[in-house]
A and B are shown apart, each in its own frame.
Chain A
């Protein structure tokens, strides 16, 4: 573990028309020099400790807490039903109940999981080398844009995490094929999306936890 970690989150852009509609919608992101590898023992231990915090009662009451409530309300406002497509923190909590604990997969997946479980703020990872130098942000898709390296075309008007040239993920949805982290990834871009009711400090903490975990020796 590094003694002094300086991970400053960059503010992503938000399309002006979207900002008018959702003044509190924002994206923060960090870039970390890290690749895909198995989680060290300390990270696995941390997941075990976190597993003990989640029990059936907590998970049932989760949706009444401020941060999950903020994401659930936002889901409904953008046409998603959080009872059918769960918000990420609830998804993680339900998976913990089903599996009896948080399962370690690899360092990057575990880092994202720790970020969301500790703060309630979801964090996603991209291969940083695929991101345009102008940076990441939230915008609507335009006609004819493709989703990742495949042939899949996106309809216009979808909310997406993108840069100036490419869509990297749907907002609160899957990462575009070929844009996520892989065995060839050397730099990870982790991003978190904030909505109304989620304090900025939570976003920063989620990204910081994620970055700290990624740099664990």
Chain B
């Protein structure tokens, strides 16, 4: 394959300029390969973090314009890419941890609502608050309406799920 390539390369003017070119020497080449492997690992971890964060509301989209000029990065540029990825991964993990804490707090609140509904009157915890799919919500409501309120009969009710698809309300339509 290499011989074939060398044969092809001598055949054209551009090739004669690129055959003898070497971008880096031994130690630097090894350093660049090592950083590329690190970038690959960080990319995998960032993808996993993206997947974990998705049901929690996702990660913020990175800012900036898309570059469309693929090129061979030098050692400094590769280090910058690696460091930026490491920062994004760290930020993603912090976001996930914060959201997980909030979800855990909502779960705890729901448990307390279930144990002592009267102490959490009209409080609501939605599925979304706990990172669960669907539109249901748990709410502390009085049994039998006003009578329950007067008698102190409180219970936790789970709503029946997502609202049915409907058109826009009449009032929401722009006027003629």
Contacts and interface: CB of A to CB of B under 8 A. Distances in A.
B18 A142 contact: yes
Given A21-B29, A63-B50, A142-B17, A84 B66 contact: yes
Interface stretch (B7-15, B142-150, B168-176): B7-15
Given A60-B51, A83-B62, A16 B73 contact: no
Contacts of A72: 43, 47
B21 A73 contact: no
Contacts of A78: 70-73
Contact of A63 (B15, B47, B78): B47
Given A13-B9, A17-B18, A83 B69 contact: no
B96 to A, nearest CB: 15
A13 B64 contact: no
A159 interface: yes
B70 A172 contact: yes
Contacts, number: 135
Interface string B14-27: 11011101111000
A164 interface: yes
B81 interface: yes
B150 to A, nearest CB: 47
Interface string B23-50: 1100001001100100110011001101
Interface residues of A, number: 48
Chief secondary structure at chain B's binding surface: helix
Given A13-B5, A60-B54, A21 B48 contact: no
Given A72-B43, A76-B39, A134-B12, A64 B51 contact: yes
A73 to B, nearest CB: 4
Interface string A63-101: 110000100110011111101110000000000000000
B139 to A, nearest CB: 29
12 contacts: A15-B19, A64-B48, A73-B40, A77-B36, A79-B67, A80-B66, A81-B62, A85-B68, A142-B17, A157-B72, A164-B12, A165-B14
Interface of B: 1-2, 5, 8-9, 11-15, 17-19, 21-24, 29, 32-33, 36, 39-40, 43-44, 47-48, 50-51, 54, 61-62, 64-73, 77-78, 81, 85
